[in-house]
Structure 1
């Protein structure tokens, strides 16, 4: 549940920030009547994202065991790709996303209501679909179906509360630092999802080595202990993983985490040419 809470918090805060930028722009420019078009676009995106999450759960339940394992493996790798793209995109765009969204909305206002709703819809639907896929992939190993729902709900509610407080300027947090910390944690979550995808491929028979254990630390980390459960929820830690699962976790987690934590290059400052002396 902790990993899914983090996903809901991170994705929810991104959605909340996007919506708050659009709302604040209309409020500050005395265009409050246009807010209904923004909210209609947000509502449509939310409905589609929820529908995708429900269809994923219902549709997969009707497949055979092998087909379920294959689909879950594909969903896991798609989720890993989403996470990787998301955290690097946010690191690059964090400083300019506000001005970019305001520019798109200003152009949409000149076109009409449908364009305004479309800007809000497109800004939210990407994050919403990412949340649906990530939620499905992260919830695969849950033994209790209620815990993932509780985790995602609490994460989204926390994000909405933080976003509302930020909008009202009641709290100020360093968003760059927040996204850096949560991004690093999500790399570990994604590594666990990749590990789970490999496990699904092994269970479906696509990959060998289901019984080849890399190590077994069940004595130090009993499966029923709270700390083993916490590690399993966050990074899909298992006391007795297979060799391929361990390789997948390390092959993704270490290089991606290093790349993410590596300081971003700053553009070289343009040096003005020295003034020419007039003879």
Structure 2
């Protein structure tokens, strides 16, 4: 629940801030009459995310085991790619988010059609929704405890909606720059774990060579070799005798750092390389000179015309 709660909280709060900027700008323009169109687009984006989740969940039942593993592994890789792109994209795009969103609203209003503003609301939220759906679906497949994982995500989204509303009302103070920085670091670790799980799925399906394929090195008893002798297609380690795969500790470790009681060499290498490369780039971005780093603010977001500027100053990475 903790891992999916934090994902739901981060992604939900990001979407809430985007919607907050759109609503505040329309109110500033005194165009409350078109708010229902914008909300229709937001609702359509949410329905799309739910529909994708339903198709992935129920559609998998009609597939063979190998088909399920291939689909699961492939979509997990897509989720890792989307999360990685989002972490770095927000660092650059956060500075221009307000102007980009406002420009979209201006063009929609100039077009004078209902669908133009519906599209603005839809596009603004759809990316976060699809990204969240893919990542949560991958994690549910990995944890094997769908009710707890879904409940954690639902709680995270509910808290995000409440926090976004309180921020817009000026009722709470929150340093969003720091929040998105720490949650971004957490997502890097989560993505590394999802990558390792995706490789496990694809190895079980026979797409990648590994312990489940004929490429695996075997000992005299026909058992897949564990340790250095099993490199590169055997098991890197196997501690299932100490940590049961279905135990609470195993689930907690997998949810937080991507650790599994038994991992192949390809899984371990991919996990290490992802953290080394993406983690280094992420930390390097945080160590920019002070003159180039946006100043994070913990000022509450006032309601009314100034809420647009205030919300924009609280976009991810503290960009104004």
Provide the C-alpha distance between the structure 2 equivalents of 1:88 and 1:82, rounded to a whole number of angstroms.
Answer: 10
Q: CA deviation at 1:94?
A: 2.0
* Partner secondary structure for residue 172 of structure 1: coil
Provide the C-alpha distance between the structure 1 equivalents of 2:92 and 2:174, rounded to a whole number of angstroms.
Answer: 19
The answer on whether the counterparts of 2:108 and 2:116 sit within 8 Å (CA) in structure 1 is yes
1:163 counterpart = 2:164: yes
The answer on whether the counterparts of 2:5 and 2:154 sit within 8 Å (CA) in structure 1 is yes
| Per-residue CA distance 1:40-74 (angstroms, 9 max, x = gap) | 11011111110011001111111001111111110
The answer on whether the counterparts of 1:195 and 1:245 sit within 8 Å (CA) in structure 2 is yes
- What are the residue-to-residue correspondences of 1:73-112 with 2, within 5 Å? 73-112=73-112
Partner of 1:229: 251
Provide the C-alpha distance between the structure 2 equivalents of 1:165 and 1:2, rounded to a whole number of angstroms.
Answer: 23
Q: Which runs of 5+ in 2 are unaligned?
A: 212-223, 225-233, 293-320
Provide the C-alpha distance between the structure 1 equivalents of 2:274 and 2:236, rounded to a whole number of angstroms.
Answer: 17
The answer on whether the counterparts of 1:94 and 1:176 sit within 8 Å (CA) in structure 2 is no
* Partner secondary structure for residue 215 of structure 1: strand
Provide the C-alpha distance between the structure 1 equivalents of 2:178 and 2:68, rounded to a whole number of angstroms.
Answer: 38
Give the TM-score of the pair, scaled to structure 2: 0.79
Partner of 1:47: 47
1:214 counterpart = 2:236: yes
Q: CA deviation at 1:158?
A: 1.2
Q: CA deviation at 1:9?
A: 1.2
Provide the C-alpha distance between the structure 2 equivalents of 1:38 and 1:72, rounded to a whole number of angstroms.
Answer: 34
Q: Using a 3 Å threshold, how does the CA distance of structure 1 residues 220 and 170 change in structure 2: closer, same or farther? A: farther
Q: CA deviation at 1:208?
A: 2.7
Provide the C-alpha distance between the structure 2 equivalents of 1:49 and 1:2, rounded to a whole number of angstroms.
Answer: 21
Partner of 2:284: 262
- What are the residue-to-residue correspondences of 1:106-185 with 2, within 5 Å? 106-112=106-112, 113-185=114-186
The answer on whether the counterparts of 2:143 and 2:251 sit within 8 Å (CA) in structure 1 is no
Instruction: Judge which range, 210-219 or 71-80, deviates more.
Output: 210-219
The answer on whether the counterparts of 1:91 and 1:180 sit within 8 Å (CA) in structure 2 is no
Aligned-residue Cα RMSD (Å) equals 2.0
Partner of 1:59: 59
| Per-residue CA distance 1:230-252 (angstroms, 9 max, x = gap) | 21122331122111111111111
1:204 counterpart = 2:201: no
Give the TM-score of the pair, scaled to structure 1: 0.90
Q: CA deviation at 1:222?
A: 5.1
Q: CA deviation at 1:96?
A: 2.1
| Per-residue CA distance 1:2-27 (angstroms, 9 max, x = gap) | 22222211111111111111011112
Q: Using a 3 Å threshold, how does the CA distance of structure 1 residues 98 and 157 change in structure 2: closer, same or farther? A: same
Partner of 2:229: none
Q: Using a 3 Å threshold, how does the CA distance of structure 1 residues 224 and 67 change in structure 2: closer, same or farther? A: closer
Q: CA deviation at 1:142?
A: 2.4
Partner of 2:19: 19
From 235, 246, 266, the counterpart of 1:244: 266
The answer on whether the counterparts of 1:218 and 1:239 sit within 8 Å (CA) in structure 2 is yes
Partner of 2:310: none
Provide the C-alpha distance between the structure 2 equivalents of 1:68 and 1:228, rounded to a whole number of angstroms.
Answer: 23
